[in-house]
């Protein structure tokens, strides 16, 4: 015997309850047309994830409960659906007369404990609900702030097969709720997820799934949401794993997908459970499952930042993006990301040369815009900087090579004056055109404060915020290795942009390594300190010079106030700046 199972990784959007209902119904109907007995959706299908303080609004919670009712009534018969929603601990969603819409109990969220829940829907009714037990409260997760856990396993019989229902973090403990469901006779475990992407996450998910399936001899359907949400991005990548610990079917990465497979499973003894019949009538024959092509590790990151940028812009009403094109590697990669996310015709690149900008940088910026099909303008900043200098007078030294009678020379204040002049220009264009400004800083720069408040940090979204400098170069080479748009030389990003030494070009002959360690050293120290929580001793043991370590850590700690003011950007490493890493701005610890 087999259970025909559908994995529905949809693009749920936070707060768009009506839209999420339509997306769910569309996938449910497709699953029914394919003869599925059951279709499994994602965590908090109705509300999107994470809804955060929307959960404090009683009307929002009630609207989400109404959405589950609508799904039950409007969904196709014959195919069972498992959908995620926000429940109330005091109010049971299952009514005495579930066939009548006016028979539902909709409890007010005011004063009630909430649950991260899943509902089993079949033939116009809600037959059972499950409340998540393991509530993550680390990294980007704050579920203990909102939800109440329930340690009550749920197993239902679908087409004669015992199916256990679990949600996301329930998987990440052994034996936990997954083992409890198997202990109650489940042959297939459905695991609804909103699991943010970071590099290496797939291996972690599959390792946990294999522990459970190999231990219990079960099948496990892992279904994950797709899309960007503020500073996280969800990659889909749903899978079905067999009792041998091997993946038997898999969904696509970073795009919605519906995977329908026949799961060979013994019915076992499910006679004590309510029997949900599953698909009725003649069942269409399934073509052999063809897993979506896997992305390589760098390609994964590219698709993550493109997906995050596209969804942030479109969901917030922006159709055009503006960014400063310096001719350097960071702005080139952000421009290519924006073009892939929104279309090159919807990207405006602005070169804003100062007296210290090189001609080859301007040439590279123009070539990049041409390759991507972007609009391109040159707005020199000489006059604005001079005007600021005139207003400031003797208060700030402007112009390198000048030395005042008091011995002062131009320094960081003058460099930042140039960066802030550029910020004024791009934000003026943003106001005029109603477009979003994308900032171009990377994780290495944000880590050590190598970015200017109200200057190159000015903007609404930071695609490279969690991308270390060396990975930025890898992304550039990866983008050049794939299809059009391309320039005459077959490149998207000019080779000269990739090959030249990085420089802010805010003073004569400036290079990043004049004031920072080489990025091979800097990125490794940042990774150790920020992502692995190593201290000075641990980083020295890792092979780094003590003086360099102490200097870099001082820079990282002192720059926290800047990062608190930075635009949002997608998490792609194990630990990103922002709500994933929360340290005090005022901090006396040095170690």
Closest among 185, 121, 199, 125 to 153, alpha carbons compared: 185
Beta bridge partners of 147: 114
Catalytic choice (52, 59, 69, 132):
132
How many Å apart are CA 44 and CA 238, to the nearest integer?
16
Instruction: Find out whether 258 and 7 touch, Cβ atoms under 8 Å.
Output: yes
How many Å apart are CA 492 and CA 251, to the nearest integer?
29
State whether residue 126 is helix, strand or coil: strand
Is 143 an active-site residue? no
Closest among 416, 398, 418 to 408, alpha carbons compared: 398
Is 168 an active-site residue? yes
Both tokens of 491, joined, read 């490149």
Catalytic choice (43, 300, 415, 527):
43
Radius of gyration of the chain (CA): 27
Instruction: Find out whether 111 and 165 touch, Cβ atoms under 8 Å.
Output: no
User: CB atoms < 10 A from the CB of 397, how many?
Assistant: 18
How many Å apart are CA 415 and CA 315, to the nearest integer?
35
Q: What letter does residue 171 receive in the DSSP assignment?
A: G
Is 571 an active-site residue? no
How many Å apart are CA 497 and CA 328, to the nearest integer?
6
Catalytic choice (69, 143, 168, 313):
168
**CA angle, residues 447, 448, 449, in degrees to nearest 5:** 100
How many Å apart are CA 59 and CA 452, to the nearest integer?
41
Both tokens of 559, joined, read 């720059």
Question: Mind telling me the catalytic residues?
Answer: 43, 132, 168
């Amino acid at each position: 015997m087999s259970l025909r199972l559908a994995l529905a990784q949809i693009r749920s959007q936070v707060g768009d309850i009506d839209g999420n209902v339509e997306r769910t119904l569309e996938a449910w109907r497709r699953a029914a047309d394919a003869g599925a007995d059951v279709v499994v959706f994602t965590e908090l299908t109705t509300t999107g994830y994470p809804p955060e303080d929307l959960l404090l609004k009683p009307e929002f919670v009630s609207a989400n409960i109404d959405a589950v009712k609508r799904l039950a009534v409007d969904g196709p018969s014959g195919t069972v659906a498992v959908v995620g929603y926000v429940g109330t601990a005091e109010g049971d969603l299952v009514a005495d007369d579930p066939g009548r819409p006016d028979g539902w109990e909709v409890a007010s969220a005011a004063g009630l404990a909430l649950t991260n829940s899943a509902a089993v829907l079949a033939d116009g009714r809600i037959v059972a609900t499950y409340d998540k037990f393991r509530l993550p409260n680390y990294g980007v997760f704050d579920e203990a702030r909102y939800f109440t856990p329930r340690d009550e396993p749920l197993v239902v019989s679908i087409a004669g097969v015992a199916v256990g229902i679990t949600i996301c973090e329930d998987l990440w403990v052994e034996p936990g709720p997954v083992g409890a469901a198997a202990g109650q006779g489940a042959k297939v475990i459905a695991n609804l997820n909103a699991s943010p992407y970071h590099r290496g996450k797939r291996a972690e998910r599959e390792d946990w799934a294999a522990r459970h399936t190999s231990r219990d001899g079960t099948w496990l359907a892992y279904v994950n949401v797709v899309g960007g949400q503020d500073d996280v991005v969800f990659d889909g990548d749903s899978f079905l794993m067999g009792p041998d610990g091997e993946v038997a079917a898999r969904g696509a990465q970073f795009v919605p997908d519906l995977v329908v497979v026949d799961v060979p499973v013994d019915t076992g003894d499910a006679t004590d459970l309510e029997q949900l019949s599953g698909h009725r009538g003649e069942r269409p024959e399934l073509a052999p499952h063809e897993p979506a092509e896997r992305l390589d590790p760098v390609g994964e990151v590219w698709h993550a930042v493109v997906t995050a940028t596209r969804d942030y812009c479109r969901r917030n009403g922006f159709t055009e993006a503006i960014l400063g094109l310096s001719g350097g590697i960071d702005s080139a990669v952000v421009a290519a990301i924006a073009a892939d996310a929104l279309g090159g015709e919807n990207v405006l690149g602005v070169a804003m040369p100062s007296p210290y900008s090189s001609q080859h940088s301007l040439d590279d910026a123009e070539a990049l815009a041409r390759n991507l099909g972007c609009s391109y303008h040159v707005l020199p900043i000489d006059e604005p900087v001079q005007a600021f200098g005139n207003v400031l007078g003797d208060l700030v030294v402007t112009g390198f090579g000048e030395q005042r009678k008091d011995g002062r020379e131009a320094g960081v204040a003058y460099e930042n004056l140039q960066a802030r002049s550029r910020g004024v220009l791009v934000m003026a264009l943003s106001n005029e055109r109603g477009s979003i400004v994308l900032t171009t800083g990377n994780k290495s720069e944000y880590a050590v404060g190598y970015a200017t408040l109200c200057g190159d940090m000015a903007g609404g979204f930071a695609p490279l915020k969690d991308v270390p400098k060396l990975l930025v170069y890898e992304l550039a080479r990866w983008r050049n290795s794939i299809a059009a748009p391309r320039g005459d030389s077959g490149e998207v990003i000019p080779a000269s942009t990739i090959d030249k030494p990085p420089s802010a070009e805010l003073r004569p002959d400036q290079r990043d390594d004049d004031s920072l360690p080489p990025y091979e050293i800097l990125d490794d120290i940042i990774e150790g300190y920020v992502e692995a929580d190593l201290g000075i001793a641990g980083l020295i043991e890792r092979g780094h010079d003590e003086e360099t370590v102490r200097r870099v850590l001082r820079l990282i700690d002192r720059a926290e106030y800047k990062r608190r003011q930075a635009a949002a950007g997608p998490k792609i490493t194990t630990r990103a700046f922002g709500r994933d890493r929360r340290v005090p701005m005022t901090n006396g610890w040095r170690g």
